[in-house]
Chains A and B, each alone.
Chain A
Amino acid sequence: DIQMTQSPSSVSASVGDRVTITCRASQGISSWLAWYQQKPGKAPKLLIYAASSLQSGVPSRFSGSGSGTDFTLTISSLQPEDFATYYCQQANSFPPYTFGQGTKLEIK
């Protein structure tokens, strides 16, 4: 199975900051990567698919990049509603789909 490793596990930032979260795959997955946002008590929400494509309705301050084994999610200017946990997910080698362990974005 492909393992997905996110870093950092948690990060503290302020409104207006630029934040980058990294996801590394244990083997190459081309661009078969998605990013999700999850707020406490809520279901995950799709943000990015195919590594860099923004899901409809997602603010443009979110962006994704990378291919192969290394990927990043960037939030260009943090808004109060962006404080949440973020997960990457690979869909290159299935089954199984695998997720990263999550990155919790907290208010500084």
Chain B
Amino acid sequence: EVQLVESGGGLVQPGGSLRLSCAASGFTFSSYEMNWVRQAPGKGLEWVSYISSSGSTIYYADSVKGRFTISRDNAKNSLYLQMNSLRAEDTAVYYCAREWAYCGGDCYPVFDYWGQGTLVTVSS
């Protein structure tokens, strides 16, 4: 059974830092691209960051570029998000999501498994 379990959320002051972790099990973690997606309270979904299966390709949303760093440790089946210079608008539930691509001619990437999320609250 595929499982993604996030941890590391909590209350942090503006300007502070936090490191989120996502522990993966039930699949070959090193074969899959992974993403972080967040959801502010009462709001919609916002993609945050992507990392390729090897970790060699990384992308960020403009809203977090230069402040957040995504990484992974395939030996530990773990995904991370280092969040620095946090702002009130970063307050959200952060989900890790496995990316799967259906290929039939073109390849259509989707998020087929999600963790339960971890809440990050940025407030003084």
Binding site for B on A (CB under 8 A): 30-32, 34, 36, 38, 42-46, 49-50, 53, 55, 87, 89, 91, 94-102
A91–B102 CA distance with the chains assembled, in angstroms: 12
Given contacts A49-B110, A53-B102, A94-B59, 18 further A-B contacts (CB under 8 A): A30-B106, A34-B108, A34-B110, A34-B111, A36-B111, A43-B115, A44-B111, A46-B110, A46-B111, A55-B112, A87-B44, A91-B110, A94-B50, A95-B47, A95-B50, A95-B59, A96-B59, A96-B61
Q: Are B116 and A43 in contact (CB under 8 A)?
A: yes
Interface size on B, residues (CB 8 A): 23
A43–B61 CA distance with the chains assembled, in angstroms: 20
Interchain Cβ contacts under 8 Å between A and B, 7 examples: A42-B116, A44-B95, A53-B102, A91-B109, A96-B59, A100-B44, A101-B44
The reply to whether the CB of B88 lies closer than 8 angstroms to some CB of chain A is: no
Q: Which residue of B lies closest to A97 (CB)?
A: B47
The reply to whether the CB of B32 lies closer than 8 angstroms to some CB of chain A is: no
Tally of A-B Cβ pairs under 8 angstroms: 65
Chain A, interface SS category: loop
Q: Are B44 and A50 in contact (CB under 8 A)?
A: no
Binding site for A on B (CB under 8 A): 35, 44-47, 50, 59-62, 95, 102, 104, 106, 108-112, 114-117
A44–B35 CA distance with the chains assembled, in angstroms: 14
Q: Are B108 and A49 in contact (CB under 8 A)?
A: yes
Q: Are B60 and A49 in contact (CB under 8 A)?
A: no
